[in-house]
């Protein structure tokens, strides 16, 4: 293919899940070239057609892009918006303006994004355009989790953050109108309490978490009532890249050092836990990069004939996704997720396990439907976790959560249930966790008619758990290996499996760390609650 170009030195920065100008290696490399720089975001219809993507994610993305556009304009440029297939968009820009290089962060995501990147790579090779891809999230393409990656990751996190460029040479390439969710047939999203997007929101969350909110993080992250405050809530910002993992890690290390000086062991322990979870998060990205069988990349396995494959509209699936199963705590979790786009890690595990075990549904469609509810959806984390909860990738005894026990353990007073399942608010605490056991007089006093004002429980959870456990054990101990037992680590290496790499705590904070993230200077975390 031949191109007639009006320019030959345009450097494109293709933004994807890295929506910031700070600590952005591809942007810095493009600016360092001295050539005109085109900051580009492509709205791809094929991406938004994937079942894991939703209106709440789109709305969060647009807010992040608006923040990015403001930051670019302050530096003399602007974000160029295009809609279409990435390869076609880039080819059009090259034909009209001439592209010398495309700078991009590696995206570790769905099979769709991997195929898209392979297609763009083939096109750039044919067009003679340099495609300069840089890793993010501390992922090292030549390393595995078992062989040197933890030290590599720690070194990457300790490296100095990239300073945002002061000026960007504008490319003068026109932008198209910004699309809206309806352009991609995304249904109206009722996520009324969704977190707002944008760099300033992400940085402020990090500041407030390290200054006060995170003090009880270690002990409160599983509490459904307080986890939304005690947790960092950075996950959607890390997912869309308004804040880099390195920025979060370095800020947390600096805060930890300050609290250690003060002798605040409670806060230092919580920050240690937060640091470990940052590494745990990135470890999932590295595991996916370790894959050699791309047909398994972030996808649940095909039908195995063991669990029933539900279709959209299946009443069990719909009752589960909308919080109408008749199990108050489970329903409260799902309704909360529908309204906020977020759920703490333990509740995520319980909801997925219920669909896989109690409802005995093939995990693929429930996992995709659940993914669309998360504003912070990350394929590299979500799908391995969904597979684990469905007992697909582990030889250990399956974790089959008892929804009533979880309710008693994590919401003993029923406050979380009353908030999200108000039709049960009048039921006394001893009966709110299992209303089917409540005396008829108590149900009547509370104005509850099971099956009318609140659903009957969808299954007998104890009997369903016993049956699921028996089925899984029969599969694993049968004459042939269970078809669901697969690996998500490096394939076909011939190595003996070893224990998962430990999430080590660095021995001392690096010297160059700064708590400042380009907001007004704050030299030490506030001790205010």
DSSP letter string over 5-54? Answer: -S-S-EEEEEESS---STT-HHHHHHHHTTS-EEEEEEE-HHHHTSTT--
The helix or strand, by DSSP H or E, that contains position 131, with its residue range, turns out to be strand 130-134
DSSP letter string over 198-226? Answer: SHHHHHHHHHHHHHTGGGGHHHHTT-TTT
And the tokens for 355? 């669909």
Q: Which of 349, 331, 320, 329 is nearest to 411 (CA)?
A: 329
Distance (Å, rounded) from C-alpha 21 to C-alpha 244?
10
377 is in an annotated binding site: no
The three-state DSSP-derived secondary structure of 392-409 is CCCCCCCCCCCHHHHHHH
> Which strands form 80-83's sheet, in the order they lie side by side?
80-83, 37-43, 10-15, 99-105, 130-134
Residue with tokens 């660095």: 506
Q: Residue 194: exposed, middle, or buried by beta-carbon count in 10 A (0-12, 13-18, 19+)?
A: buried
Distance (Å, rounded) from C-alpha 372 to C-alpha 23?
29
Contact 405, 426 (CB under 8 A): no
Strands (E), 78-129: 80-83, 99-105
Contact 469, 406 (CB under 8 A): no
User: Based on C-alpha coordinates, what's the Rg of the chain?
Assistant: 24
Distance (Å, rounded) from C-alpha 377 to C-alpha 298?
12
217 is in an annotated binding site: yes
Residue with tokens 């979790």: 333
The helix or strand, by DSSP H or E, that contains position 130, with its residue range, turns out to be strand 130-134
Residue 481 phi/psi, 5-degree rounding, is: -60, 145
Residues in the chain: 529
Q: Look at strands 99-105 and 80-83 and give their pairing.
A: unpaired
Cβ-proximal residues to 477 (8 Å cutoff; 6+ apart), any chain: none
Residue 374 phi/psi, 5-degree rounding, is: -85, 120
And the tokens for 70? 């403001």
And the tokens for 88? 């076609």
Contact 368, 227 (CB under 8 A): no
Sign of the alpha-carbon dihedral angle for 259, 261, 262, 265: positive
Distance (Å, rounded) from C-alpha 43 to C-alpha 393?
34
Which residues carry a binding-site annotation?
Answer: 217, 274
Which residues carry a binding-site annotation for FAD?
Answer: 217, 274
């Amino acid at each position: 293919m031949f191109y007639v170009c009006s320019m030959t030195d345009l450097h494109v920065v293709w933004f994807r899940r890295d929506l910031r100008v700070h600590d952005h290696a591809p942007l810095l490399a493009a600016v360092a070239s001295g050539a005109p720089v085109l900051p580009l975001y492509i709205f791809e219809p094929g991406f938004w057609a994937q079942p894991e993507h939703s209106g709440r994610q789109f709305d969060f993305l647009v807010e992040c892009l608006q923040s990015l556009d403001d930051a670019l304009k302050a530096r003399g440029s602007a974000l160029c918006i295009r809609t279409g297939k990435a390869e076609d968009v880039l080819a059009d820009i090259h034909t009209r303006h001439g592209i010398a290089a495309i700078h991009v962060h590696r995206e570790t995501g769905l099979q769709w994004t991997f195929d898209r990147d392979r297609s763009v790579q083939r096109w750039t090779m044919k067009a003679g355009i340099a495609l300069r891809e840089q890793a993010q999230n501390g992922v090292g393409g030549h390393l595995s989790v078992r062989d040197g990656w933890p030290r590599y990751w720690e070194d990457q996190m300790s490296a100095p953050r990239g300073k945002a460029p002061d000026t960007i040479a504008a490319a003068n390439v026109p932008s198209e109108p910004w699309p809206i969710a309806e352009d991609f047939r995304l249904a109206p999203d009722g996520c009324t309490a969704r977190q707002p997007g944008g760099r300033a929101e992400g940085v402020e969350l990090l500041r407030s978490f390290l200054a006060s909110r995170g003090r009880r993080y270690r002990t409160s992250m599983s509490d459904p009532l307080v986890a939304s405050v005690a947790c960092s809530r950075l996950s959607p910002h890390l997912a869309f890249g308004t804040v880099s993992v390195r920025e979060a890690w370095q800020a947390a290390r600096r805060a930890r050092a300050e609290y250690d000086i003060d002798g605040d062991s409670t806060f230092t322990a919580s920050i240690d836990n937060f640091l470990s979870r940052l590494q745990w998060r990135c470890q999932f990205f590295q595991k996916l990069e370790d894959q050699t069988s791309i047909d398994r990349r972030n996808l649940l396995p095909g039908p195995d004939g063991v669990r029933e494959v539900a279709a959209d509209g299946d009443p069990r699936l719909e009752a589960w996704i909308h919080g109408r199963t008749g199990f108050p705590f489970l329903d409260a979790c799902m309704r909360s997720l529908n309204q906020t786009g977020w759920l703490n890690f333990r509740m995520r595990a319980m909801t997925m396990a219920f669909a896989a075990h109690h409802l005995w549904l093939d995990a693929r469609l429930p996992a995709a439907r659940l993914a669309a509810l998360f504003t912070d959806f990350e394929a590299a984390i979500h799908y391995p976790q969904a597979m684990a909860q469905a007992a697909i990738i582990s030889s250990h005894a399956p974790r089959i959560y008892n929804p009533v026990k979880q309710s008693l353990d994590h919401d003993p007073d029923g406050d979380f249930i009353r908030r999200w399942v108000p039709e049960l608010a009048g039921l006394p605490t001893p009966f709110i966790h299992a209303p089917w056991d409540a005396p008829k007089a108590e149900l009547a006093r509370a104005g509850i008619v099971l099956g009318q004002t609140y659903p009957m429980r969808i299954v007998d959870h104890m009997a369903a758990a016993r049956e699921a456990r028996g089925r899984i054990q029969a599969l694993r101990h049968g004459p042939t290996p269970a078809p669901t037992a697969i690996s998500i680590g490096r394939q076909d290496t011939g190595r003996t499996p070893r224990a998962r790499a430990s999430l080590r705590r660095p021995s001392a904070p690096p010297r160059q760390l700064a708590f400042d993230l380009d907001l007004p200077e704050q030299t030490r975390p506030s001790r205010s609650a």
